[in-house]
Amino acid sequence: MVSSKGVRSRGLMLGALSTVAIGLLTTAVATPALAADKPAKPTIVLEHGAFADASSWNAVIEELRADGYPVVAAANPLRGPANDAAALRSVLDHVAGPKILVGHSYGGSVISVAGANDPQVKALVYVAAFLPAPGETALELTNKFPGSTLPGALDPTPFTLPDGTTGTDLYIKPGKFHHQFAADVPAGTAALMAATQRPIAQSALEEKTEAAAWKDKPTWAIITTQDLNIPAAVQRYMAKRAHAYSVEVRASHSVAVSQPKTVAGVIEKAARATR
């Protein structure tokens, strides 16, 4: 026989347990909602330029990832702005959500085309890079002001295309790479960079760009004042024309290798300003 007192005790116990369960359920449901309120950081997409490969961004990637940014360093074919922009767009299509596009050197020409008309590209960062207007070439811009010593450091190498026509690949001579491309990088590191450099087709530097994403997207520019590839005067001219937020750095063309914290800092400024 069960007393009414025992029934009441069990009822009170079940009621208390139900209250605790409901509280736990409420907490479990509320926690993801609070997390969802926090906006995700944009993905940083890095595009290298001529005479380099994606590993040139390694130290910058470490800085960005330490600060919680997802990063993708794309492989640049270095065949021409239209071809290379198509390759980069395939990478952008694979990355969900908002993105910040970063281009070094000739990679600036590529992001200018690839980032156009893409609403998920929220900002552009040019690192010692070309900011061409439609119809301009990298070679034309390089020669706009004096100061580039690149022509004398090049090693032109002919190659044959599948259709039998010939082209010319451009390398920087190993013995001149350190001084020309990465004077503020330790000699051993510069030697590795020279050994792993990827050539650019000469025709890529002579090809006119078709679009300029900087015309309607927030733009940042890192200007390297000791640059022997793209003279600082050329970089300033392009940055001013693009109304870019400019930062001048006493660095060689390889600023992403010699001063990765500075480069990552500018990229993060662009990311924070456009969220």
What six digits make up the tokens of 156? 């032109």
How many residues appear in the chain?
275
DSSP 43: E
Tens of pLDDT along the chain (275 residues)?
A: 444 444 344 443 434 434 434 343 333 333 333 344 456 899 999 999 999 999 999 999 999 999 999 999 999 999 999 999 999 999 999 999 999 999 999 999 999 999 999 999 999 999 999 999 999 999 999 999 999 999 999 999 999 988 999 999 999 999 999 999 999 999 999 999 999 999 999 999 999 999 999 999 999 999 999 999 999 999 999 999 999 999 999 999 999 999 999 999 999 999 999 87
3-state secondary structure of 16: helix
Cα 44 to Cα 62: distance, rounded to the nearest angstrom? 12
| H/E run at residue 53 | none
Exposure of 270 in the CB half-sphere (CA atoms within 13 A): 34
**What are the residues facing 166 on neighbouring strands?**
160
**Strand arrangement, sheet containing 43-47:** 71-74, 43-47, 99-104, 121-127, 219-224, 245-249
The sign one gets for the Cα dihedral 53, 88, 200, 250 is: negative
For position 226, what pLDDT does the model report? 98
**What is the full DSSP assignment across 117-159?**
T-TTEEEEEEES---PPTT--HHHHHTTSS----GGGEEEEEE
Residue partners of 17: CB distance under 8 A and separation at least 6: none
**What are the residues facing 124 on neighbouring strands?**
101, 219
Chain-centroid distance of CA 40 in Å reads 18
For position 253, what pLDDT does the model report? 98
3-state secondary structure of 32: helix
DSSP 214: G
